[in-house]
Structure 1
């Protein structure tokens, strides 16, 4: 995962973030909104990320799907090919999911993500660039 995270809500957002990262020569993490796995689904997120990668193939990035506190959504995301997820559930569930992630080569994130959310940005490209230019 890269130091700077941008929450995307569309393919346009993802492409803006990747183009800004490429222009600045830095990496970026594309993240879904909190709990998005419940309403967008893992497949949608995976396909948006793939499409953005096709549009900006030389960008350095990672991607994280937020599954909220739903362990079933974490499992579904892994089955759909999403390699990194965020989970906010309890300790027992986190422990079990972490063991699975470690065993299968997935990445489970449980902490808060310091991020730029593009939802309310009128100029997503400019916001991405400004966010990525800030010191970590």
Structure 2
């Protein structure tokens, strides 16, 4: 789970050719928005060209933000399946060739690590080797 471009860049650098999923914080679709999330992922990817990655924006229970994320070009979005509009968003995701996730994937929260220190980088590397 990334909270900014520096964390996303660190994850991409550590992942290398194996690639990595860059998951937003819970509900970030509402307070960060898809455009900002896409920009931070793009900045990180520019520093790590060629590293495969999937950007996943968590939209909690907000279908409007999930639809906006799909329109903005995100290929994967998390939306609470209890949301009444879940089926409609799922149809829009399928039409766009994107994935709608009903649960957050398991993730290491990089906001809890100090990636400037060897110990933090080692924890990230260990997570990626799993």
TM-score (norm 2): 0.89
Is 2:121 the counterpart of 1:129? Answer: no
Deviation at 1:62, TM superposition (A): 0.9
Structure 2 gap segments, 5+ residues each: none
Is 2:24 the counterpart of 1:13? Answer: no
SS in 2 for 1:108: strand
Provide runs of 4+ in structure 1 moved above 6 Å.
Answer: none
Once residues 116 and 43 of structure 1 are traced to their aligned partners in structure 2, the CA distance between those partners, rounded to angstroms, is: 23
Aligned residue in 2 for 1:39: 31
Once residues 88 and 98 of structure 2 are traced to their aligned partners in structure 1, the CA distance between those partners, rounded to angstroms, is: 13
Deviation at 1:91, TM superposition (A): 5.9
Task: Return the structure number with greater strand share.
Answer: 1
TM-score (norm 1): 0.85
* Kept after mapping to 2: 8 A contact 1:33/1:66: yes
Partner residue of 1:67 out of 39, 55, 59: 59
Q: Relative contact order: is structure 1 or structure 2 higher (C-alpha 8 Å, sep ≥ 6)?
A: 1
Say what the alpha-carbon RMSD is for the aligned residues: 1.5
Residue-pair matches, total: 126
Structure 1 gap segments, 5+ residues each: 1-6
